[in-house]
Amino acid sequence: MSGLYVNKLKRRALNALRIAENTDDFDLAMFLIDQALQLYIKAVYFELFGSKVRGGSRH
């Protein structure tokens, strides 16, 4: 299961980068690059530590 999740995140990251490369809208490209980086970092984190990254938690 974990390998499937990692592959899915990495595939989504690469797809976002491909779209960013092919757009003429600078703001959209920057947004997609940011999203791609976040997805890739989540994939690597999950691959290394075996747990999903949780954000926005309130104590």
Q: Which of 47, 36, 46 lies closest to 11 in space, CA to CA?
A: 36
Measured at the CA of 53, the angle between CA 14 and CA 39, to 5 degrees, comes to 10
Can you spell out the DSSP letters for 28-42? Answer: HHHHHHHHHHHHHHH
Asked if 42 and 9 touch (Cβ cutoff 8 Å), the reply is yes
pLDDT of residue 1: 53
Residue with more model confidence, 50 or 37 = 37
Q: pLDDT digit string (tens) for 7-46?
A: 999 999 999 999 999 999 999 999 999 999 999 999 999 9
This prediction has a pTM of 0.78
* CA torsion, ordered 49, 51, 52, 55, to nearest 10 deg: -80
User: For position 39, what pLDDT does the model report?
Assistant: 96
pLDDT of residue 56: 60
